[in-house]
């Protein structure tokens, strides 16, 4: 079968591989729609997870089941399914401990385009099919279904990690597709004021539709100073980080109230250390909690997030700025993701 792969750090291309084999608890899926992620860019062009050779890229897809293992109970050949980017081993001790994304090792629930071939192939393999697939609800287009793999669950996880409460003032740093879903998630959880950091006009417009109230640019000086100017010196209740770099924690801590939470879902592609400002962190005693997390994955979560789309509580179509038709365009979609033109939020490829 054909697949679009990372050949080595800094290099991508089409390769031929054997169709993956289906274990007793697994499924083989044929993609119906695909989307590249900024993480694919960190992986290939920043070498963020180290060297990989001839690894098929991609972890955002929905598809049709073409084969199931003998122990799979709830899915059948022909089912149209949502597939999460993170596919934990649900029998692991880590999953039983409440952290499925770290099943069998830190971040090891992230298998596609990390430890095994990703979804940008004619077929892909899903472990633990009963735990990691969900049926696409009626009325959801496959291009929208694709946003339920990673953008919705990751962005919403930012709002969960920051533990957004009714009436909170929330700062969302980074409003690419992930941050936009954090805005939507914070809004659904009851945030009142949502201050966003980002400059691409397309993202700003869509952020307004998802509930953003104020905008600042990281290009116009210190984020914390701009935030405190907007709030009249009042600290924010929560910060969600979905963009920036290792230094982004500095303004986040500086403008957060004591007792506030920082939820980070940004993938830190380079740098050795994350900096925390000592004094503004209450010289170590400020109760300013910083949590960074990979989204959990799992069928129940997929079903619940999909129900938000099904019942029109969340419109993911606003993210889809560039639509392609035909597998060959995966290459164009990745290229767009790398270049990030001003009008881009998310490209999607319908097969």
Q: Give residues in contact with ligand NDP (CB under 6 A).
A: 37-39, 42, 150, 154, 173-179, 197-200, 203, 218, 242-245, 248, 265-267, 294-295, 340
Q: Which is nearer to ligand NDP, 68 or 157 (CB)?
A: 157
Q: Dihedral sign for Cα 57, 319, 266, 245, please.
A: positive
Q: Which is nearer to Zn ion, 119 or 227 (CB)?
A: 119
**Is 86 one of the binding residues for Zn ion (CB under 5 A)?**
no
Pick the piece of the chain touching Zn ion (CB under 5 A) from 103-111, 150-158, 242-250, 300-308: 150-158
Q: Which is nearer to ligand NDP, 131 or 243 (CB)?
A: 243
21 binds, among Zn ion, ligand NDP, none (CB under 5 to 8 A by kind): none
* Nearest distance, CB of residue 25 and Zn ion, angstroms: 24
**Is 180 one of the binding residues for Zn ion (CB under 5 A)?**
no
* Nearest distance, CB of residue 321 and ligand NDP, angstroms: 11
Cα(96)–Cα(35) distance, integer angstroms: 31
Residue of this chain nearest to Zn ion (CB atom): 37
* Nearest distance, CB of residue 296 and ligand NDP, angstroms: 9
Cα(15)–Cα(12) distance, integer angstroms: 9
Q: Which is nearer to Zn ion, 150 or 280 (CB)?
A: 150
Q: Which is nearer to ligand NDP, 116 or 338 (CB)?
A: 338
Q: Which is nearer to ligand NDP, 50 or 78 (CB)?
A: 50
The answer to whether 253 touches 173, Cβ cutoff 8 Å, is: no
Cα(94)–Cα(75) distance, integer angstroms: 25
Q: Which is nearer to Zn ion, 142 or 253 (CB)?
A: 142
* Nearest distance, CB of residue 28 and ligand NDP, angstroms: 24
* Nearest distance, CB of residue 94 and ligand NDP, angstroms: 16
Residues 3-62 binding Zn ion (CB under 5 A) are 37, 39
178 binds, among ligand NDP, Zn ion, none (CB under 5 to 8 A by kind): ligand NDP
* Residue 93 CB neighbours (<10 A): 10
Q: Which is nearer to Zn ion, 20 or 177 (CB)?
A: 177
Cα(308)–Cα(226) distance, integer angstroms: 33
**Is 150 one of the binding residues for Zn ion (CB under 5 A)?**
yes
Q: Which of 4, 5, 1, 110 is nearest to 53 (CA)?
A: 5
* Nearest distance, CB of residue 335 and Zn ion, angstroms: 17
DSSP tag of 123: S
H or E stretch including 157? Answer: helix 151-161
Residues 241-280 binding Zn ion (CB under 5 A) are none
Q: Which is nearer to Zn ion, 34 or 37 (CB)?
A: 37
DSSP tag of 329: G
Cα(308)–Cα(305) distance, integer angstroms: 5
Q: Which of 191, 337, 342 is nearest to 263 (CA)?
A: 191
* Residue 190 CB neighbours (<10 A): 12
Q: Which two tokens stand for residue 301?
A: 């979560």
239 binds, among Zn ion, ligand NDP, none (CB under 5 to 8 A by kind): none
Q: CA geometry: angle at 145 spanning 139 and 146, to 5°?
A: 160
Pick the piece of the chain touching Zn ion (CB under 5 A) from 107-115, 148-156, 159-167, 239-247: 148-156
Query: Please, which residues bridge with residue 244 across strands?
Result: none
Cα-based distances in Å from 347 to 140, 233, 301, 317: 17, 39, 24, 11
Residues 92-111 binding Zn ion (CB under 5 A) are none
Three-state DSSP state, 299:
helix
Three-state DSSP state, 195:
strand
Q: Where do contacts with Zn ion occur on this chain (CB under 5 A)?
A: 37, 39, 150
């Amino acid at each position: 079968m054909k697949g679009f792969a990372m050949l080595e750090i800094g290099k991508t291309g089409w390769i031929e591989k054997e169709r993956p084999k289906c274990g007793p608890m697994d499924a083989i899926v044929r993609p119906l729609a695909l989307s590249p992620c900024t993480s694919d860019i960190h992986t290939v062009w920043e070498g963020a997870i180290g060297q990989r050779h001839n690894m098929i890229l991609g972890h955002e897809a929905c598809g049709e089941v073409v084969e199931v293992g003998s122990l799979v109970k709830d899915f059948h050949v022909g089912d149209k399914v949502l597939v999460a980017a993170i596919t934990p081993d649900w029998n692991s001790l880590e999953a039983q401990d409440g952290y499925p994304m770290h099943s069998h090792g830190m971040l090891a629930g992230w298998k596609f385009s990390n430890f095994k071939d990703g979804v940008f192939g004619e077929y892909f393999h899903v472990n633990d099919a009963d735990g990691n697939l969900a049926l696409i609800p009626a009325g959801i287009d496959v291009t929208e279904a694709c946003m339920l793999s990673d953008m919705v669950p990751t962005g919403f996880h930012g709002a969960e990690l920051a533990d957004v409460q009714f009436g909170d003032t929330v700062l969302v740093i980074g409003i690419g597709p992930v941050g936009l879903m954090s805005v939507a998630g914070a809004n659904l959880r009851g945030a009142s004021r949502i201050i966003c950091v980002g400059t691409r006009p397309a993202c700003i417009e869509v952020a307004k539709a998802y509930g953003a109230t104020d905008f600042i640019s990281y290009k116009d000086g210190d984020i914390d100073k701009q935030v405190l100017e907007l709030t009249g010196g009042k600290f924010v209740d929560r910060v969600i980080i979905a963009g920036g770099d290792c230094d982004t924690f500095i303004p986040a801590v500086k403008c957060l109230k004591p007792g506030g939470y920082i939820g980070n879902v940004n993938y830190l592609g380079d740098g050795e250390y994350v900096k925390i400002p000592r004094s503004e962190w209450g010289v170590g005693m400020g109760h300013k909690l910083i949590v960074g997390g990979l989204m959990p994955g799992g069928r129940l979560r997929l079903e619940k997030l999909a129900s938000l789309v099904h019942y029109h509580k969340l419109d993911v179509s606003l993210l889809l700025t560039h639509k392609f038709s035909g597998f060959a365009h995966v290459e164009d979609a990745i290229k767009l993701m790398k270049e990030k033109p001003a009008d881009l939020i998310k490209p999607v490829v319908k097969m």
